[in-house]
Amino acid sequence: MVESFPDVETTYGPIRGSWRDEVCLFRGVPYGRPPVGMLRFRPPEPPEAWSETRDATRFRPAAPQNPDPLDHIWGEVLAPGDEDCLTLNVWTPAADDGRRPVMVCIHGGAFLIGSGRWPWYDGRALIRRGDVVLVTINYRLGAFGFLDLSEIPGEESTTSGNHGLLDQVAALRWVRDNIERFGGDPGNVTVFGESAGGISISCLMAMPAARGLFRRAIAMSGGPNLVRFPGTSRAVARAFLRTIGVADVDELRALPTKALLKAQKRFLRRNEFGGDLVFGPVVDGAVLPEPPLQAIRAGCARDVALLTGTTLDEARLWSLYLPILRWMRPHALERILRHAVGDRWHEVIAAYRHSQPGEKAGNLTMAINGDLLFRMPAIRLAEAQSAHRPADTRMYLFAWKTPIRGGRLGAPHAVEIPFVFGNLHAKGVNRYTGNGEDRRALSNLVQDAWIAFARSGDPNHPGLPTWAVYRADARATLVFDEITTVEDDPLAAARLIWADVPFDGLHPAIEHSVPSTREMLSSFVRASS
Q: Are 528 and 331 in contact (CB under 8 A)?
A: yes
**Cα separation, 73 vs 417, whole angstroms:** 12
| Rounded alpha-carbon distances, angstroms, from residue 149 to 87, 232, 244, 519 | 24, 12, 14, 31
**Cα separation, 275 vs 514, whole angstroms:** 8
How many H helices and E strands in the chain? 18, 14
Tell me the DSSP string of 429-441: THHHH---THHHH
| Rounded alpha-carbon distances, angstroms, from residue 167 to 137, 163, 192, 209, 315 | 9, 6, 16, 11, 28
Tell me the DSSP string of 273-330: T-GGGSSS-B--SSSS-S-HHHHHHTTTTTT-EEEEEEETBGGGGGGTT-GGGGT--G
Reported for 403-410, long-range contacts at CB under 8 A and 24+ positions apart, including other chains, are: 403/434, 403/436, 404/431, 404/432, 404/433, 404/434, 408/316, 408/319, 408/326, 409/313, 409/316, 409/317, 409/319, 409/320, 410/312, 410/313, 410/316, 410/363
For the chain, helix, strand, coil in percent to 5 are 40, 15, 45
- Helix (H) / strand (E) containing 88: strand 87-92
Q: What amino acid positions are annotated as catalytic residues? A: 195, 314, 413
Sheet holding 393-398, edge to edge: 18-20, 23-30, 87-92, 133-137, 100-106, 184-194, 216-220, 305-311, 393-398, 476-480, 485-488
**Cα separation, 389 vs 368, whole angstroms:** 29
